[in-house]
């Protein structure tokens, strides 16, 4: 560990890990989920109401997550995606410091602590790759201090009360972003109970903080966003939750293999790695519950698994086999997470040439990656009330798998309702451009709403890209009235 022998060397190592990770983000196109939620945050700041004017299957907190980044962009001109990365980096540093306050031990020397901090920075800053600042990544960052408190408590060590309470208060933010991720800390807490052979951990400050914060968020969300629970959530459970993509089988199997390796190797290590291996298993179950197979959803499981192998343990001898296994897992995790969004520069250039300044851009698509990075890169705003046509996508998925007349009628109603939402949004604010997914009969879908069919007749194709067509409003169309 010569790298960590002097304070200057430790500081330089931490700086390189943080700055180097941020530098990588600088050269990437916006990740589609981040770009889409930035567009939603812009609309929220303009007065749009989540789950009333804007429609998405995700919980309400997702609409507000990137509001600070959009405010930074409006005040400084710094791109919102870059601002989001800076905010996430500050959050990571705070999370690591809070975790250190919980794990710090007088028996540890500076080199040992530097090893632990370096491992955390590698996992939180480098491993997420293009999914850095995505919701699942942020959720793990805010949950890490709670896992650190569980690690300390499982070993029977004294846990700083204030730090443990802060860790508990912070973690439910991650649960509010992705409720199923509660399984990670839940599995870890079960191992704490097994290690302590007592129910006393239920009375710990970290559990009290998590319950208190969870209650506050649990009361705020239904009060402030009743329509999510009354309207959106039942729709999402019926049409969106059942969707399973082909990539899910491949990546789900790969993730299970990685977590299985983590548990096997972690069993060779004494003490707290069992907590992290359990958390990784819980996060893996959460990943499998989604059925979507999108790489960013595997970030919490991979992060906990990597930390179970990489974090140092007091008095543990060097183990080359463990290091090799850790390196192999790190490579697998990086390959799993390195999902760059599809970005069509040719289509983006056509859009730049064709559109007026600050264009309103609508879409007819089930794929976020085709639209939102492009909209952000050309300075546009979203012309649809949803990030993708998720109700129609889910309805089509269900219609292909049922012959039940009642279910067919319900799914057809979802298609009609979404066509009506798009028609109303475009009638209020006609898009300058429309990005249309190729290979789908959009006229048949638009016929569910005569108004939408008439609006589409005002557009003509001006460019083709990767699985998409770019439509421009014809010159002879009625002038658009901007609110």
Tokens of 80: 């919102």
What pTM does this model have?
Answer: 0.90
DSSP per residue over 347-385, as a string? HHHHHHHHSPSS-EEEEE-S-GGGTHHHHHHTT-EE-SS
DSSP per residue over 46-95, as a string? TT--BTTTBB-SS-THHHHTTHHHHHHHHHH---HHHHHHHHHHHHHHHH
Only one residue has tokens 């491992």, namely 119
From first to last of the 483 residues of the chain, give the pLDDT tens digit.
455 667 777 778 777 777 777 777 766 666 788 999 999 999 999 999 999 999 999 999 999 999 999 999 999 999 999 999 999 999 999 999 999 999 988 777 777 788 888 889 888 988 887 788 999 999 999 999 999 999 999 888 888 999 999 999 999 999 999 999 999 999 999 999 988 888 999 999 999 999 999 999 999 999 999 999 999 999 999 999 998 877 666 666 666 666 766 666 666 555 578 889 889 889 988 988 888 877 788 889 888 988 887 777 655 554 444 554 555 555 555 555 555 556 677 888 899 999 899 999 999 998 877 788 889 989 999 999 999 999 999 999 999 999 999 999 999 999 999 999 999 999 999 999 999 998 888 988 988 788 898 899 999 999 988 888 999 998 876 655 544
**CB neighbour list of residue 350: distance below 8 Å, 6 or more residues apart:** 462, 463, 465, 470
Distance of CA 294 to the CA centre of its chain: 10
**CB neighbour list of residue 50: distance below 8 Å, 6 or more residues apart:** 40, 44, 56, 60, 63, 225, 228
Distances (CA, A) of 12 to 3, 122, 393: 9, 14, 49
Answer yes or no: are the C-beta atoms of 79 and 377 closer than 8 Å: no
């Amino acid at each position: 560990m010569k790298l960590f022998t002097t304070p200057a060397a430790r500081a330089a190592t931490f700086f390189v890990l943080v700055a180097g990770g941020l530098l990588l983000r600088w050269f990437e196109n916006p990740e589609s989920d981040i770009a889409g939620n930035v567009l939603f945050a812009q609309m929220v700041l303009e007065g749009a109401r989540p789950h009333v004017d804007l429609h998405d299957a995700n919980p309400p907190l997702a609409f507000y997550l990137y509001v600070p980044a959009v405010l930074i962009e409006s005040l400084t001109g710094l791109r919102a995606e870059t601002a989001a990365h800076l905010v996430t980096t500050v959050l990571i540093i705070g999370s690591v410091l809070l975790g250190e306050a919980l794990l710090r031990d007088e028996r540890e020397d500076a080199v040992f602590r530097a090893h632990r901090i370096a491992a955390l920075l590698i996992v939180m800053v480098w491993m997420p790759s293009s999914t850095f600042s995505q919701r699942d990544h942020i959720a793990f960052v805010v949950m890490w201090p709670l896992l650190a408190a569980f690690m300390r408590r499982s070993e029977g060590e004294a846990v700083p009360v204030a730090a443990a309470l802060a860790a508990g208060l912070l973690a439910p933010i991650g649960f509010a972003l992705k409720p199923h991720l509660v399984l990670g800390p839940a599995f870890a807490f079960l191992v704490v109970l097994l290690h302590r052979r007592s129910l006393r951990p239920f009375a710990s400050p970290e559990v009290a903080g998590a319950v208190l914060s969870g209650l506050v968020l649990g009361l705020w969300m239904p009060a402030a966003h009743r329509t999510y629970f009354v309207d959106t959530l039942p729709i999402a459970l019926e049409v969106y939750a059942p969707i399973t993509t082909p990539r899910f089988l491949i990546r789900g199997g790969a993730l299970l293999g990685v977590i299985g390796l983590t548990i096997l190797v972690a069993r060779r290590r004494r003490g707290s790695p069992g907590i992290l291996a359990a958390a990784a298993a819980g996060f893996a179950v959460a990943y499998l519950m989604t059925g979507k197979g999108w790489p960013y959803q595997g970030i919490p499981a991979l992060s906990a698994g990597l930390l179970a192998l990489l974090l140092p343990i007091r008095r543990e001898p060097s183990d080359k086999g463990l290091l090799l296994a850790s390196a192999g897992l790190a490579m697998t995790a990086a390959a799993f997470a390195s999902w760059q969004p599809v970005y069509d520069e040719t289509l983006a250039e056509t859009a730049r040439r064709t559109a007026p300044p600050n264009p309103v851009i609508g879409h007819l698509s089930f794929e976020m990656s085709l639209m939102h990075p492009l909209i952000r890169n050309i300075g546009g705003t979203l012309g649809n009330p949803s990030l993708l046509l998720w109700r129609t996508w889910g309805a089509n998925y269900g219609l292909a798998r049922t012959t039940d007349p009642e279910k067919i009628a319900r799914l057809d109603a979802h298609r009609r309702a979404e066509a009506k939402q798009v028609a109303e949004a475009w009638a209020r604010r006609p898009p300058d451009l429309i990005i249309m997914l190729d290979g789908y009969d959009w006229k048949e879908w638009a016929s569910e709403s005569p108004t939408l069919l008439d609006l589409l007749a005002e557009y003509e194709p001006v460019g083709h890209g990767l699985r998409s067509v770019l439509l421009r409003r014809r010159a002879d169309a009625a002038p658009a009235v901007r609110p």
